[in-house]
Structure 1
């Protein structure tokens, strides 16, 4: 019985290995082929039996695996299959999931533009590729520094200046002591001399080489000319070099302008390196490298063949070998990597082009690799103040490889792998795809699931593959549902990399994938508009997918871009299931976005905005407002009757993204436990629907100690030793760098830690909290900060808040700029005890300032012990400037604000009845006049006056706090001050002689403690004044109104001023203060340690190999 069990186990195990199937025929068996002939050179062949590929086939045109047939690669035979097209109706096997392929398989797609270069799995086809199991990618465990270039070995040798003469021709010979790497001697031999001198010069050269002791390092470099017009016989020179180096020197065949370098250890035949390049370019160079003992010797010969002047040189640099061929330490065990494997080390700076391809020299320990070449850039490898900026290292080499022959007429026409609806099985792991994809035609991508519909029952997956130097995309999912895409490495692709094409794709798990080097198409190319406009590593067009532990580590534009079409962009001929209703996506919550990372992207790290249009462009704001069960609850047709569903973006790490680390727009979206660092604007939240946005339990760093590649911009204060988001050559290098950028709202910032927001003098200024520049949108008076923490003292170590100064050329004075503000709900930002309740941070304009406001010089902002609300004046005219409006604060006639937004003019007003406001239209009074409020409550009310036509006939209409549809429902009061006691609404004042109208805006309710609406119970006040008669020409009626019935400001002003005076005295500040406000630049100390539960923390845990 025991024997039987063992026998069954052995048989079962062997059957898991496809190459062990006893029914397989040899490749060269004629009976396996349609027509009974073994495939010949450039033939079309159809496989009709099950075959093992155990011999090298000739290049083929087409290989078809018929239904019922099977092609199995033999792991004991290294095969290079070269073919134009492979069509799979039967089965294609390279290993299996339980029996990984440990041999070497190489498939190359042949063909020119217009010819097929494809592996196509058709209905009924099986595609199983299972290469060796190797760690797909990991992260640095410590910074990997770039090589610091040493001086040329001749530098500073005054007695050898002649050797550095760039106009000097000849052979430059070095002698170096290998035990120390020190220069012993150097001499240049010029053979472009007169005939009578040449024999002596040759003798000198031969004797010089012969006299060099055995065991020394010898370097010989050519400086442009060895002999002029070949008029001398230098045979003995060449022989001397060949004797020393034990090689037949290529120098014998050089011509004028050749670059040549040789390094040798005299007496050791194995230690010679010789390189040269003929005169084929305007300027060119070659580099020879020799490794011996503890040192690396690097010699460059540079020749300039065109242009004026002398630029020829030979340089020799000596490095410690351990630095030149560095060892990098990694988080994961890398014992599956081998010498010769190629790796990609991601950029950790703003520039994605700092990613470097390297080769493994050796594996010194289980967590280390030594490289064959130095690093050109420093790659950061630390967690800094809660932000994990350890750079990724990905494996490019695999033992199963698909690549392409270059087309003769195009550099962008590779092969592609495509799966069609109805396939039987698709699993791919451990393969390398190099140079696949096409720019000439749409639909030819490295890996492409094309219109397969729902495949979730088949369990297909693409896992642990290396896809690099792709001509078009990395992995494309087109109208296919239910895939698993995990732990792949995608490097240097043209166009979007991980690509959800149509907007119908859903139920895909995208986990643990690394993407970097996502680039624009070359000029004149590009498959869709967004490939050219903004190539993105993870391009997502449907919210019903899962994203976990992915890394977008460098693209020309964005890392993650979530933008949904209203309806899937399917072919016109398609009549099947679209899987999405019209506009369903905009009401559907993103299923999961956890533990993802984005860095080194030219635009945003994560971008949630825009709508994908039928023309392929992505534009406009996304109108995204996720609802709970949007289809079942009919939210698409009636969103007002539905409940908002929050999207949680958890533990998102983003750093060194040029424009924003995260741009989040739409409905209820929460960035939670996330970490950000080093960006022009780290986090931008834009509330554009009736729902709200949140940033919670997160960490934002301004300038970290990940300095990047230092800029070379020099100034009076020296060279700033760090990189800039935009570089120093651009005019916007002085733009503010901010942690949270307020724009549209309300948005809510709670439990957020800020670090390292210190100005860099004349380079740029910084602020933890800042505001959108050139903001044409309205800010919100309800945007709130609560329990903020700052790891620096203000102002000596940084700025908690920052905006542009009014005199700064970069200050744009748009309406959104002028009303920039936020609520400091618990005074954790201002750290003031002058105010007993929430304070408001505002622009220090006279229109906003009161005796209870304090200016903060370093912020270019002020904070006030008052609540502010917003009054918006709307009109629907088609002209842009006819109805520009000016609002004046009634207590100070010079405190006014003019709007530049004719159709939606916002003004920030003080609530609570202590101040009132009046407005007039500069040119023409709109009809109707519409006034809306935000943040106005029952206790936070405000009186507003409007200049209407004198002797006008008008109607009034409002629906809140009470419904008054006609003016006869309103109560006219005799004195404008009578309005200040109106607690119910429905009263107004109008003076026919001046045209001055006023009313009080007061909500029925106050805000609840946990209410996030911009208005109590989400009910705004809207007043419509419909002018029936009267001259609507611009009318500044305010002076006439004051002359007619006195001061317009509320009578509570006296009590207000006495209260402010007492408060000022009690807090030991000056009692006399104008509307310019009091300066308050006291030192605000840093907060304590960073809470351990805030931020994303470590972004990488050891990989778990799939079962």
Structure 2
């Protein structure tokens, strides 16, 4: 090979200058409004703040207060600053033309702000009759505008992620029989790239030893050398090659013997940098390994690890079980030769280990006594065993296979890190952000979290994360089915979170018998006649409570929240992550026309994306991702079998729960009215089901009387297009069942909202006297759901291009 292959690489760096013209920020950025007065209330948990009578304030530093009430034209704006702002409060109530602004649509918030909602359920504070405790509440006339940085919400893996293994950018080399001799790799220290490699069969010919010495001499100083022996390399190794390797820093190559494993890594010209391992071995005594590794720093600041392993490998396996041979006459010990005679060619010459057990399955301890040659005897110790041989037993032997050579060289350019190859441009994701990679197996618990690391060499569709995967996550189409794992962004620069206790405490019946952690988180609730609510770029963490009506985001009896209700621009929740939540993700209750788009819901208790009573219509869930959805205590449909048996409030005396019939339905998308839209959504792991269309014969709760009996069972389906479901315990999708809409009675002892039978039959205008109107399930993908891909009961449900 020419010297140009063995010299450090040369790189040319082109620097581009970008000139960005400042926008007219004052026009669109709420914190630039000239009427704002700077407000720094300090830290006082007794400070009950009132922002009213047209007062407009700018919070420009961290603060702790008891509560904040924004009303009568008051306005609170969070300053966009390079310094993080942490606002800690029991609650924030916005009403009567009060406003809270964090950024705007045209001026997204660029700094970092955290709103912490604190307090215990049992701390004696008086809850608000409508909002409760630990809330951000928007009531009549209130405005809530939260607009964080614009970031990609979620995407797909575009290359399979293997557990613990090498990832993009690494090098892996493995050889066994047929590749004898000394194998050399030349590695560029600037990049970690292997620039050349060669094999020298110094067992076969002395000429190969000369060629090895010449090759090493041509390698430029500063290059990394990885040198190792595979199989045998000493027979025709002459002094010229041995001395050349010694000059590089080797202390053992001079004494390399027949079939000795040997590995060596050095920097040419720096013998003190060498690492080396050498084992004296003859090739027939089991496994032996010589392994070295060394960490290097590339010119871009990233680290890479070079490792080399030279070994002899002996695989082992257990034989079948053998009972004591009939002709065995041993009075004191059992003989291996008796078993070999009784079972010719089934037991190896020299077993590595022995196991014995009684015929009825009880383990026995064996004591082995070696004899001359290849025979040995053994005693059994255990119940009913004596010193006169083994009784009533069977035995098996661990046998070693023939040894084989193995050489492995790796260059791991991601030391304790991993490169994720993704389907979309993720350059908006930043170091420090947290991600979740969905399971692509039957268990949703194979979802894994990662933290983003700096990566100077990543492409726009790549991101570097700390650590290695524990599970396999698919990143490809398999047999025509798109089985790529979803990858969701959890971190946002605007964070609203609950302040939590270290352990569970009882604020609702039997809570701590189901959970060993505090579940009394914060919540956001938007009520009827709010003035405006637009949420995007928000992270919600430790939100929701195990009590009815307190969810991370909750639109409660708000009616039409789009143009039909006079909202322009229409109300939306976009680009939001909701994770480690204690009660649902997004709840739509008695509200219509809400856009929920690019929302990630992860690690939630109870139905994640939840429509509640039955009258909710025209809401759109677009490109939403839900995963790791677990049972909750709130509704029978949220509960698992144990909860179903222990929680019987609302049941008639004598009720005997049937968990699989009455409960056990927790779902990522719980749709109580078919006339809603689900587009490009993913249900990537629930204790029960991904998408569940459930039927309310009549509306329940505060929505009672909003439609006539049977209306929802005949309501045409909204758009259901290009959705996917996997890793769900029961099914990818279910269209079946209703919920019980009457209280428990002697006739039917089940509590209200337990599951009952139901059948979907869509008709035009939800009128059973008018023509049927088919429900179209378009482009649905379901894989690795334990019971069903889809369970559909009813009439005129059409599947189009589904897998």
Short-chain TM bin: 0.5 to 0.7
Task: State the Cα distance separating 1:526 from its structure 2 match.
Answer: 4.0
Tell me, in whole angstroms, the C-alpha distance in 2 between the residues paired with 1:117 and 1:350: 37
Task: State the Cα distance separating 1:83 from its structure 2 match.
Answer: 1.0
Task: State the Cα distance separating 1:453 from its structure 2 match.
Answer: 1.6
Q: 1:659 aligns with which of 767, 773, 787?
A: 787
Aligned to 2:92: 86
1:508 aligns with 2:619: yes
Q: Quick check: 1:487–1:512 contact (8 Å CA) kept in 2?
A: yes
> Which secondary structure does the structure 1 equivalent of 2:777 belong to?
strand
Aligned to 2:628: 517
Tell me, in whole angstroms, the C-alpha distance in 2 between the residues paired with 1:55 and 1:663: 54
1:542 aligns with 2:673: yes
1:413 aligns with 2:520: yes
Aligned to 1:551: 682
Q: 1:47 aligns with which of 41, 48, 51?
A: 51
Tell me, in whole angstroms, the C-alpha distance in 2 between the residues paired with 1:83 and 1:180: 60
Q: Quick check: 1:138–1:330 contact (8 Å CA) kept in 2?
A: yes
Q: 1:72 aligns with which of 59, 74, 77?
A: 77
Task: State the Cα distance separating 1:345 from its structure 2 match.
Answer: 0.5
TM-score, normalization by structure 1:
0.43
Q: 2:762 aligns with which of 626, 629, 639?
A: 626
Tell me, in whole angstroms, the C-alpha distance in 2 between the residues paired with 1:669 and 1:344: 34
Aligned to 1:63: 68
Q: Quick check: 1:544–1:590 contact (8 Å CA) kept in 2?
A: yes
Cα distance, 1:657–1:217 mapped onto 2, change above 3 Å: farther
Task: State the Cα distance separating 1:587 from its structure 2 match.
Answer: 1.0
Q: Quick check: 1:605–1:655 contact (8 Å CA) kept in 2?
A: yes
Gaps of 5+ in 1: 1-8, 29-36, 151-177, 186-212, 219-263, 272-290, 298-316, 636-640, 676-1107
Tell me, in whole angstroms, the C-alpha distance in 2 between the residues paired with 1:130 and 1:47: 21
1:642 aligns with 2:770: yes
Q: Quick check: 2:548–2:634 contact (8 Å CA) kept in 1?
A: no
Task: State the Cα distance separating 1:651 from its structure 2 match.
Answer: 0.7
1:671 aligns with 2:799: yes
Please list, as runs of the form range in 1=range in 2, the aligned pairs for 1:245-394 lying within 5 A after superposition. Answer: 293-295=304-306, 320-322=412-414, 324-363=416-455, 364-394=458-488
Task: State the Cα distance separating 1:643 from its structure 2 match.
Answer: 2.0
Q: 1:96 aligns with which of 88, 101, 104?
A: 104
1:430 aligns with 2:537: yes
Tell me, in whole angstroms, the C-alpha distance in 2 between the residues paired with 1:587 and 1:344: 38
1:134-180 CA distance string (max 9 Å, x none): 11111111211111499xxxxxxxxxxxxxxxxxxxxxxxxxxx976
Q: Quick check: 1:644–1:668 contact (8 Å CA) kept in 2?
A: yes
Aligned to 1:19: 31
Aligned to 1:145: 162
Q: 1:607 aligns with which of 729, 734, 757?
A: 734
Q: Quick check: 1:181–1:318 contact (8 Å CA) kept in 2?
A: no
Task: State the Cα distance separating 1:375 from its structure 2 match.
Answer: 0.7
1:975-994 CA distance string (max 9 Å, x none): xxxxxxxxxxxxxxxxxxxx
Task: State the Cα distance separating 1:534 from its structure 2 match.
Answer: 2.4
Tell me, in whole angstroms, the C-alpha distance in 1 between the residues paired with 2:718 and 2:533: 25
Tell me, in whole angstroms, the C-alpha distance in 2 between the residues paired with 1:526 and 1:445: 11
1:6-28 CA distance string (max 9 Å, x none): xxx99975221101100001113
Tell me, in whole angstroms, the C-alpha distance in 2 between the residues paired with 1:296 and 1:133: 41
Tell me, in whole angstroms, the C-alpha distance in 2 between the residues paired with 1:479 and 1:531: 23
> Which secondary structure does the structure 2 equivalent of 1:15 belong to?
helix
Aligned to 2:659: none
Q: Quick check: 1:147–1:323 contact (8 Å CA) kept in 2?
A: no
1:809-845 CA distance string (max 9 Å, x none): xxxxxxxxxxxxxxxxxxxxxxxxxxxxxxxxxxxxx
Tell me, in whole angstroms, the C-alpha distance in 1 between the residues paired with 2:502 and 2:477: 48
Cα distance, 1:618–1:625 mapped onto 2, change above 3 Å: farther
Task: State the Cα distance separating 1:498 from its structure 2 match.
Answer: 0.2
Tell me, in whole angstroms, the C-alpha distance in 1 between the residues paired with 2:524 and 2:89: 13
Tell me, in whole angstroms, the C-alpha distance in 1 between the residues paired with 2:771 and 2:763: 6
Q: 2:554 aligns with which of 437, 442, 448?
A: 448
Q: Quick check: 2:636–2:754 contact (8 Å CA) kept in 1?
A: no
Q: 1:475 aligns with which of 557, 562, 586?
A: 586
Q: Quick check: 1:555–1:601 contact (8 Å CA) kept in 2?
A: yes
Task: State the Cα distance separating 1:497 from its structure 2 match.
Answer: 0.1
Query: How many equivalent residue pairs?
Result: 509
TM-score, normalization by structure 2:
0.59
1:238-268 CA distance string (max 9 Å, x none): xxxxxxxxxxxxxxxxxxxxxxxxxx999x9
Tell me, in whole angstroms, the C-alpha distance in 2 between the residues paired with 1:409 and 1:63: 28
Q: Quick check: 2:678–2:720 contact (8 Å CA) kept in 1?
A: yes
Cα distance, 1:376–1:609 mapped onto 2, change above 3 Å: same
Please list, as runs of the form range in 1=range in 2, the aligned pairs for 1:872-911 lying within 5 A after superposition. Answer: none
Q: Quick check: 1:100–1:130 contact (8 Å CA) kept in 2?
A: yes
Cα distance, 1:379–1:10 mapped onto 2, change above 3 Å: closer
1:383-417 CA distance string (max 9 Å, x none): 22331111111111110011121135531111111
Task: State the Cα distance separating 1:580 from its structure 2 match.
Answer: 2.4
Aligned to 1:851: none
Tell me, in whole angstroms, the C-alpha distance in 2 between the residues paired with 1:319 and 1:464: 38
> Which secondary structure does the structure 2 equivalent of 1:657 belong to?
coil
1:530 aligns with 2:638: yes
> Which secondary structure does the structure 2 equivalent of 1:465 belong to?
strand
Aligned to 2:574: 463
Q: Quick check: 2:304–2:414 contact (8 Å CA) kept in 1?
A: no
Tell me, in whole angstroms, the C-alpha distance in 2 between the residues paired with 1:356 and 1:670: 35
Q: Quick check: 1:147–1:324 contact (8 Å CA) kept in 2?
A: no
Cα distance, 1:581–1:361 mapped onto 2, change above 3 Å: same
> Which secondary structure does the structure 1 equivalent of 2:629 belong to?
strand
Tell me, in whole angstroms, the C-alpha distance in 1 between the residues paired with 2:448 and 2:538: 21
Tell me, in whole angstroms, the C-alpha distance in 2 between the residues paired with 1:581 and 1:144: 51
Q: CA RMSD in A?
A: 3.5
Q: Quick check: 1:407–1:414 contact (8 Å CA) kept in 2?
A: no
1:107 aligns with 2:115: yes
Tell me, in whole angstroms, the C-alpha distance in 1 between the residues paired with 2:578 and 2:111: 20
Please list, as runs of the form range in 1=range in 2, the aligned pairs for 1:831-980 lying within 5 A after superposition. Answer: none
Tell me, in whole angstroms, the C-alpha distance in 1 between the residues paired with 2:614 and 2:80: 40
Tell me, in whole angstroms, the C-alpha distance in 2 between the residues paired with 1:132 and 1:402: 15
Gaps of 5+ in 2: 1-20, 124-132, 168-223, 230-248, 251-270, 277-292, 309-408, 505-517, 641-663, 742-750
Aligned to 2:151: 134
> Which secondary structure does the structure 2 equivalent of 1:622 belong to?
coil
1:596-630 CA distance string (max 9 Å, x none): 11111111001110011124545343221111223
Greater mean deviation of Cα atoms: 531-540 or 480-489:
531-540
Task: State the Cα distance separating 1:469 from its structure 2 match.
Answer: 0.6
1:163-206 CA distance string (max 9 Å, x none): xxxxxxxxxxxxxxx97699999xxxxxxxxxxxxxxxxxxxxx
Task: State the Cα distance separating 1:39 from its structure 2 match.
Answer: 6.9
> Which secondary structure does the structure 2 equivalent of 1:123 belong to?
coil
Greater CA radius of gyration, 1 or 2?
A: 1
